[in-house]
Every structure is written in structure tokens, then in C-alpha cells.
Structure 1
């Protein structure tokens, strides 16, 4: 960074400082929005490219891995090109690679273009994070982290995020973060009771709990992680923070996809052991399906489809339980972090 960015800001940020931070936030929003759109439509993309669940997970993983490669280079590229030039070039590259993704003709081409997206968009989030650290003084850091969290939130969370900096003036960020992890983990356990009758209405209250917990984590965890970071270390701290976050996401996506596939096969084999003609319930169900579908072959195919569905539901329930346990461990871990320095949340002391 330049010499003036090595001085910890203490006064009120100027209009140019806020414009720089907001512009960087817009770039980060573009990168995060792309990830969210892809994840929400991953099933449709997999279907269009004739990809399996395990193969389709590489569409997301390739982006995250390429992003991880780019993130450590961001601080050096800022010194080489300046933040403004770097932002322009990576934005152009990000838009061009996004256009190529819309023209992908196979799974392989989609993975390559998604990697290009991740590489060009990998600098956008660290830029926003770094500028928040070097342009905003400590008493405005909570507002900056709230703005940073806005780039990764959905519509329900947008209404809660502006209140998080205000809550941090009364409640320790560590406790707010722990509460957020607890709500998020509780929502995961509630999600782990799926059955074929589950629909949107059953998920509404779970999504509300998750929406309440996520902003508490996103805003406070960034503040906790950077509370003792000096401006001269902002680039390295931003790279490390985002690398660990994205690496965890890439590993988590790949691990969950693998576990879901493995557990679904295990549960299918377990359920299949009970599907024997001597079982009266199986015989009765098979007779009803044969009468309804017109042939025993069609009835057997339908019974196999139902069994695969039940196995997949059981695998997803286990996955939600694992996520809930991981979030519970995170809730305990965040309470063991160091006490934040005075003034970090906009108050005189914690």
C-alpha cells in the first residue's frame, strides 16, 4: 500500500473515502451475487449440462478455487497497478467471463469459464475488505463491516444488518456472534427432519431463524478478526481472511456433495434389504402400484424411485445435523477469542 495508507485513520472519513469504500463494495456485491445466483440455479445448470450431483459441484468449486488463487495476489497487484486500475481490469474480465459462462456448451467448458470468473472476481472482495480497513477509523469500522456484510446478504437480512452496529454498542460482538452461530445451528438442526411431505410452508420459520442469525455472524466475525490488524497489514489480513473463508467454502461444498452421494448409496442399500416379497407391506404396496401403473415392471421402477428419494432425504438430514454440530463448535470457539480493543464498536470501551 502507499505510505499514507500505513497511518491508522483517526478522524472522520472524507467523502472520497466513502466513495472509494462504496465503489469497492459494489464490486464485491457483483462477485457475491454471481456465487448466489449459481448456487441457487445449480440444479438447472446440472440438468442442462447432463451433469450428476458430484460433477455439478465442480461448477461452484472451480470458481472458489480460482478465487483463492487470486486473493493472495490482490495486495501485490494493488501496489503494481493501483486499486483503481486493478478494479477496472478485474471488472472487465469478470463481465467477459460471465458472458462466456452463459455460452457454455458442456460441463468442461462451464468449469473453465467459472474458473475464469473466480480468478477475475477474486480481487473484488479483498479490495472492498482492504479499503474498509485503511480508509475508515476504528469508530466507523463496525459500519464498514456492516456494509461489507450487505454484499453477501439476501433481502430479509438487509433489514437487520443496519441494526447490528447499534447492537454492538450495547452487547459485545463476541456474544452477538455466538448468538448468530446458535440461531444458524439451531436452524440447521430443524432442517434435519425432512420427509417427503415437507414443502415451502414448513421451511418458512426455519428460514426466518437462519435470516436472523446470519447477519449477526457476518458483521461481527469480520470485526473480531480484524480488531488488532494494523493498516500496513490490511492487505495481508484481507487475503488471509478471504482465503480461509473461500477455502472453507470450497472444501465444504465438495465434502458435502461427496458425503451426500455416499450416504444416499448407503441408505439405499439399507432400505433395499427390507424390500423383499415376503414383507407384507412391500407386497401390498407393489400390488397397488401394479394396479395403478398397469404392469409389474412399472411398479418395480416406481418403488425403486421412491426408495432412492427416501435415501436422499435421509442423507440430507444427516448433512444438516453435521452442519449444525460444526456451527455449535464455532459458537463456543468465538467466545474464547480475545477481548476487543476500546473504540472498535464506536464506544469508548467494551
Structure 2
């Protein structure tokens, strides 16, 4: 065996320990998805307000992920992972005690900020600790950790919520968290801190990034409820986000104290892969949020039933992820990426045809097909993105790639939520135009009711139910078109 192929035990423990962090972050998203309707009900939140439970976590991650590489320079990778993991565990326990929506969102911000280091540093450890010949295997393990989280999260979360309470689901982070802390403490060497870099930090750029990304997310979340640009608040937040993000990009491209290398996006493969990962994150996280709400609100599923319905989504990825390195020896990586996007688009197309009887019989096939496509994308796209990059660029590359995936997730969750809300109103108005007391069919329906007022209320409720089915179908169609577009774009990527 050549020297390049030898990997020390400590390197593998470091990589696998990092994967426990990736698993925790993935579990945290998926375990709450099955219980989200119960959390919303317990905390007195509406469907649109409840999206902040997921979005607050994602926004905090997005803001902190670009800082990961700089934090590692200042405090060392070992310290950043240890502190991030410990605070993440404490915040997870605190989430289970949240008395209301405001407190829950505040804790989720802390949890997201602390957990922001877990995914990019897991990605970075694969690039830096493993030789090039083992990177595909590392990326397959990276995908596998997400798949296990997706398989176990909804089912265990649904069962705990149904059997005990949604508050128990946050304790699931404890075991992988302890294993992560042990692995990092044993396998990663302690390095001296470079505290002088704090004074040299690009604090103006950091502040601009926080204001820009935070303002963008507030616009996405609150725009639908505040009539978009008919609201002075939304106009003000949009201007603030635009100015702040413009300065952030300028400072990182031309400033002397840049904390993240945005020039990597000019690399052909990395740039195309990053855009594709943004859309992948938008579709994946957005649908992970919408599907449980659809099953709960429109089909009357409880948390356990939602978890059972979603388990196949993770299991199929769990079975396929270990096979991806072998597939990459047979197929071009860009063909694998394109295939994955087209398969996911097909899954969304299957989920777009909803009617009153569309429950698990439609959602399970749709999620299974999407689950088949995801490992093809996660492994091959990651390998294509980092091919040709130097190990010294791994920190910025992992931070950028993870940030765009999570930014896509936040935009997708907020965007698809608003799309469903807007399209429901649109379809309700169109259907409602034919519902009036002068239509013979309506008169006949009301004449069969014992109480005219109750009969009319039930008819209006039926109109809204049908409008929601059409609105959710529209969301699936939008995701289908976006993923299909990424499949086409993947075909023009260059194989290194």
C-alpha cells in the first residue's frame, strides 16, 4: 500500500468524530420536522410563525458558518469544535424547556450559532485529514451521516412526541454529542491560539454580513404577512440587506482583512457546484418543513404517523450512500450529479399531484424517489467542488459550501412557506368565485344541510382545503423545475 493511501487511526477518529457533529446538526433539523405541528400547537404558533423554529436555527448557522475558518485561525480547530459542541448540547436541553415561541426561537438562535461549526469543520476534516484517494469515501460517510439523521430523526422524533412529549426529542443530541467531544479531545492536537488576530479581524465585514443575511431572512419571513413592498418596514429591511451584503462582498473580494475567500466562487467547478448546492439546500430543507405540515394540517396525521411516513426517505439514503464511491469508479461524477438532480425532480413531480386522498400513498413514493437522488448529489457534487483546490483553501471552501447549502435551506423554507400561503389565497379566491348562493349546485348542497350556517361554513372550509392542496402542489412544481435546472447545469461541469 502506498504512503498516500495510509490513514492513521487518529485521522479516522477525527473524521468520524466530525461526522458525529454533522449527524447532530442533521438530526436537529429532521427530528423537529416530524414534531413541528405539535410544537407549534403547544407554543401557540401559527403555520407561518412556526417556520421560525426551523428558520431561526438556519439563519444563525448561516451567519456563523462563514466565520468558522477565521475562528479556527484564532482559537484552533480543537477549541472551536469543543466549545461549539458543548454549547450546542446545552442549548438542545434548553429547547426542551422552552415555555413559549419567543424563548424557543431565542434558544434556537444560540443552538444554530454554536452548531454552525459542526458541518463545515466536518467537511474540512475530510479534505485535510484524508488523502485524495480517500476523499470520495469521506464524502460518502458525510452523506451517510446525513442519511442516518434523516432516517432516525423523523421516526424517533415522532415516536417520542406521540408517546411522551415533543420536549423529549431534543435529548437525542446528547449521545452523539458526548462521542463528538471525546473524539475531538483525543484525536485533534491542541494548537496555540492567535488572539492577536482578533484585533486584526474584519469587524466591519462581519457586521455587514450579519445585518445583510439577517435582514434578508426577515424580509423572506415577514414579507408575505406585511404585503411585501407595500410595507415601509419590508422596504427598509430590503435596502439594509442589499447595502450590507454589497459591502460584505466588496470587503471580502478587495479588503485586506477578508475572513473568507469569496474568490473561490470564480473557480468554474466550485462556482457551479455552489449554486447547485444552494438550490439543493432550498429544495431539501424547504420540503422537509412542508411535508410534515401538509400531513398534519391537510391529512390529520399525528407525530408518530408523520415519523413513520418519513422514515423511508432516510432509509433509502442510508442504503445507497455507502455505494456511492463504487459508483464513482464507473460513472463520471457530473453524470452522477445530474442523475441525482433529475431523480429528485421526478420525486417532486410525483408529489405535485395532490387531492383529498393524497396522504402517505403519494408522499411516501415522492420522498423515497427524492431520497434516492440525494446521495448521488451529496457525494459527487462535493468531490467535484473541491477537486483542484489546495488544502490551504479547505477552510474557506468548506465554509462557503456549507453556508450556501444552509442559506438555500433558509431561503427555501421561507420561500416555499410564503408560496403556499400566497397560492392558497389565490386558489381560494378563484374557487370562491364560483361559490355563491345563486349557483344551483350550492343551493342543493345547502338545502341538504340541517343548519344553513353550518352548511355554508363547511363549504368554505372545503374550499380552503382544496386551495391548500393546490398550493402545496404548486410548491412541489417549483422545486421540481429548480432541481431539473440544476440537473442540466451539472452536465456542463468539468471533470478534474
Q: Are 1:111 and 2:271 an aligned pair?
A: no
Q: What are the ranges of 5 or more consecutive residues in structure 1 without an aligned counterpart?
A: 1-8, 341-350
My pick for the range that moved more, 308-317 or 72-81, is 72-81
Give the number of aligned pairs.
Answer: 328
Per-residue CA deviation, residues 67-110 of structure 1 (Å, 9 max, x unaligned), is 01111221222223322222221111001111121111221111
* Cα distance in structure 2, aligned partners of 1:277 and 1:10: 79
- SS of structure 1 residue aligned to 2:409: helix
Corresponding residue for 1:309? Answer: 465
Per-residue CA deviation, residues 173-200 of structure 1 (Å, 9 max, x unaligned), is 1101111100100110111110001121
Q: Are 1:330 and 2:324 an aligned pair?
A: no
- Give the one of 54, 66, 76 matched to 2:60: 66
- SS of structure 2 residue aligned to 1:195: coil
Cα shift at 1:206 = 2.4
* Cα distance in structure 1, aligned partners of 2:438 and 2:461: 20
Corresponding residue for 1:320? Answer: 476
* Cα distance in structure 1, aligned partners of 2:41 and 2:66: 34
Cα shift at 1:54 = 1.6
- SS of structure 1 residue aligned to 2:357: coil
Cα shift at 1:287 = 2.6
Corresponding residue for 1:216? Answer: 376
> Contact between 2:334 and 2:494, CA under 8 Å: does it hold in 1?
no
Q: Are 1:203 and 2:363 an aligned pair?
A: yes
> Contact between 2:334 and 2:490, CA under 8 Å: does it hold in 1?
yes
Cα shift at 1:306 = 0.9
Cα shift at 1:240 = 0.5
1:118-137 mapped onto 2 (5 Å cutoff): 118-137=112-131
* Cα distance in structure 2, aligned partners of 1:59 and 1:232: 36
Q: Are 1:44 and 2:24 an aligned pair?
A: no
* Cα distance in structure 2, aligned partners of 1:221 and 1:281: 55
Cα shift at 1:311 = 0.6
- Give the one of 338, 349, 353 matched to 1:189: 349
- Give the one of 67, 77, 93 matched to 2:87: 93
* Cα distance in structure 2, aligned partners of 1:207 and 1:248: 19
Corresponding residue for 1:297? Answer: 453
Per-residue CA deviation, residues 118-137 of structure 1 (Å, 9 max, x unaligned), is 00000011110000000111
TM-score for the superposition, normalised by structure 2: 0.64
My pick for the range that moved more, 50-59 or 267-276, is 50-59
* Cα distance in structure 2, aligned partners of 1:129 and 1:166: 20
* Cα distance in structure 1, aligned partners of 2:34 and 2:487: 27
Cα shift at 1:300 = 1.5
Runs (4+) of structure 1 exceeding 4 A deviation are none
> Contact between 2:351 and 2:362, CA under 8 Å: does it hold in 1?
no
* Cα distance in structure 2, aligned partners of 1:263 and 1:178: 30
Cα shift at 1:11 = 4.0
* Cα distance in structure 2, aligned partners of 1:334 and 1:64: 26
Per-residue CA deviation, residues 211-249 of structure 1 (Å, 9 max, x unaligned), is 211111111111111112210000000010011111111
* Cα distance in structure 2, aligned partners of 1:173 and 1:262: 38
Corresponding residue for 1:4? Answer: none
My pick for the range that moved more, 323-332 or 251-260, is 251-260
Q: Are 1:83 and 2:77 an aligned pair?
A: yes
Q: What are the ranges of 5 or more consecutive residues in structure 2 without an aligned counterpart?
A: 148-313
- SS of structure 2 residue aligned to 1:169: helix
Q: Over the residues paired in the alignment, what is the CA RMSD in angstroms?
A: 1.4
- SS of structure 1 residue aligned to 2:330: coil
* Cα distance in structure 2, aligned partners of 1:217 and 1:85: 32
My pick for the range that moved more, 318-327 or 222-231, is 222-231
Corresponding residue for 1:346? Answer: none
Q: Are 1:230 and 2:386 an aligned pair?
A: no
Corresponding residue for 2:137? Answer: 143
* Cα distance in structure 2, aligned partners of 1:54 and 1:190: 25
TM-score for the superposition, normalised by structure 1: 0.91
- SS of structure 2 residue aligned to 1:228: coil
My pick for the range that moved more, 211-220 or 186-195, is 211-220
My pick for the range that moved more, 142-151 or 201-210, is 201-210
* Cα distance in structure 2, aligned partners of 1:170 and 1:18: 26
* Cα distance in structure 2, aligned partners of 1:321 and 1:223: 29
* Cα distance in structure 1, aligned partners of 2:353 and 2:371: 19
